[in-house]
Amino acid sequence: MVFAPQGKQTLSHRVFVTIFVCAMAVIVAFTVLGAFFVQNTLADATSANLAQETELIAAALDEQQEPVPFLRSLDREDLRITLINKDGSVAYDNEASPSTLPNHGDRPEVIEAFESGSGSAERASSTLDEIMLYRAVALDNGQVVRLAQAQPGVAAILLSMVAPMLLIAAAGAVLSFFMARRESRAIIAPLQEVDLDHPRRSYEHAYAEMVPMLERIESQRQELKRQMAVLADNDRMRREFTANITHELKTPLTAISGYAELIANGMVEGEDDLRNFGGRIYREAGRLAALVNDILTLSNLDEAERATEGEAVPIGSTEPIELSRAIYAVEQRLEQVARQANVTISHETKPVVIEGVSRLVDELIYNLASNAIRYNRPSGTVTLQCGTNDEGHPFLAVADTGIGIAPEEQGKVFERFYRVDKSRSKARGGTGLGLAIVKHAALYHHATLDLSSELGVGTTITVTFPIQQDEPFA
């Protein structure tokens, strides 16, 4: 059983009130209409009977020499009989002395009787709860005999129906109570059967009006599940990032600490060993510095993605960038690295300008190109391209003839610290954050990434920029 919170109206109460009010409204309406119908029916019947009796009395009076004694002899307490002279004065009235009555010559029924032989009228009495019906007939001697009879009015009829109406109202209240209980339970049943964990299962028994609500609940439930999955995934990535960053920072720090300890303890034999250890410390320090720089870049990009409009972020200002020049600059910096890896690096560019942050675009191209060199094969090639596609969008692409990426790995390569070939990565350096920076730098410039790769053949990554950018990136 479900109890309503204090101060809250129950559905049963609302249904009861609705049914009771509707029932009472119908009863009152029918009572009032019935009263009018009864009153009109009685008035018609009384008028017809009064007309008949008036004609009979008039016919009898026409045969009398003295009409007043005849009228006195009639015992009709239910009728008021009035005899009116030609001048409108009252000759006889069975309820009042003629001398006390005003002239009746102005009465509508009397005027009509003098003019056409008979007349009728209907007037409300002073008591306001009855109507007086009048019928007048002209006599042969020039006088007019008028009969009047009281007829109950609508108010009187309604008043007489108060007791039955109260009984009907009481019966209606009892009936409404039980109907409300039954109907409210029937109405609530489909609502109580709704499975909020699986709203679609409730479609069969739900009201048609409930379907949009159930669909919205299902949509919100799916959105909540998606958000929970995203939160869980973010938490997993945060933990993995923490573990990876700890490991990546610890590795060069451990090497630097170890070599420095050997030198400090005098365990270095000769100048060659000292230079060797110094060189290793320098390389590990460079690796550490590169890792810190990549982490700072990603942190700035994350902050820029979360920033609200107008909020300053430490990314840099946007400016026109000639992609072919940016590609050529990266190619020159990586020529020595490519030569050492026995890889040929070249470019195929067409002039194209985009609006962007120069530092981010440079890192994007550099990371794509250095990855293409790192995961290439001996005598392989890396080609840097830029131009405008068939739809007019500026693009840049980096294609290599390297080891390729398996289909199941292609969705993960842009994650932080993810490496396709971990042994090759460790042997040739790299922080594991290059493609993550590429992804977020592309997002910052509202660009899209497309990866095409085949194992043993090579990989092409294309960055496609918007045709134009009216507002600054943020």
17 falls within a domain: yes
- By residue range, what is the domain housing residue 407? 318-464
In this structure, the answer to whether residues 18 and 153 fall within a common structural domain is yes
Structure tokens at 290: 């590169």
> N- to C-terminal Cα distance for the chain?
55
- Final residue before a domain boundary, out of 268, 286, 306: 306
Q: What is the pLDDT of residue 2?
A: 46
Same domain, 331 and 285: no
Contact yes or no for 136/115 (Cβ under 8 A): no
Encoding tokens for residue 438? 């590429």
The rounded radius of gyration (Å) of the Cα atoms in the chain is 54
Whichever domain contains 18, its CATH number is: 3.30.450.20
What's the pLDDT tens digit per position in 134-146?
A: 999 999 899 999 9
Count Cα neighbours of 31 within 13 Å in the Cβ-side half-sphere. 20
On whether both 220 and 356 belong to a single domain, the answer is: no
State how far the Cα of 443 lies from the Cα of 289, in Å rounded to an integer: 25
Determine the pLDDT at residue 1. 44
pLDDT bracket for residue 288 (50, 70, 90): confident
Both 302 and 364 in a single domain? no
* pLDDT grade for 235, boundaries at 50, 70 and 90: confident
Residue type at 292?
V
137 contacts 58 by C-beta, under 8 angstroms: yes
pLDDT in tens, 166-204: 787 788 778 877 777 787 777 777 777 777 777 766 666
Least trusted range by pLDDT, from 122-131, 221-230, 390-399 = 122-131
Mean pLDDT of 272-284: 83
10 Å CB burial of residue 198 (0-12, 13-18, 19+) is exposed
- Secondary structure class of 357 (helix, strand, coil): strand
**Residue predicted with more confidence, 400 or 286:** 400
Total tally of structural domains belonging to the chain: 3
> What residues contact 44, with CB distance under 8 A and at least 6 apart?
none
What's at 187, amino acid-wise?
I
Tell me the backbone φ, ψ of residue 128, rounded to 5 degrees: 65, 5
Dihedral of alpha carbons 390, 391, 393, 396, sign = negative
Per-residue pLDDT reduced to its tens digit, 382-400: 999 999 999 999 999 999 9
Beta-bridge mates of residue 146: 82, 136
Q: Average model confidence (pLDDT) for the chain? A: 81
Q: How confident is the model at residue 346 (pLDDT cuts 50, 70, 90)?
A: very high
Dihedral Cα 170, 173, 178, 181, nearest 10 deg: -160
Give the pLDDT confidence score for residue 103 in this predicted structure.
93
The DSSP code sequence of 403-419 is: S---GGGTTTTTSTT--
Looking only at the bridges linking them, the beta strands covering 343-349 and 380-388 are: parallel
Residue 191 lies in a domain: no
Residues 20 and 57 in one domain: yes
| Residue range 78-90: mean pLDDT, rounded | 90
> Residue 292's pLDDT band (boundaries 50, 70, 90)?
confident
> What is the per-residue pLDDT for 472?
47
Q: Are residues 387 and 430 in the same domain?
A: yes
Let me know whether 126 and 54 are in one domain: yes
Higher pLDDT, 277 or 316: 277
pLDDT value at position 175? 80
Which residue from 467, 342, 442, 362 is spatially nearest to 402, judged by alpha carbons?
342
Q: Where are the alpha helices (DSSP H) in 193-309?
A: 211-264, 270-306
CA–CA distance, 114 with 88 (Å, rounded to integer): 10
Shared domain for 264 and 326, answered yes or no, is no
pLDDT tens for each residue of 42-54 = 778 878 888 898 8
Q: Does residue 438 form part of some domain? A: yes
Any residues with CB less than 8 A from the CB of 443 and at least 6 apart, and which? 301, 305
**Which of the 8 DSSP states describes residue 402?**
S
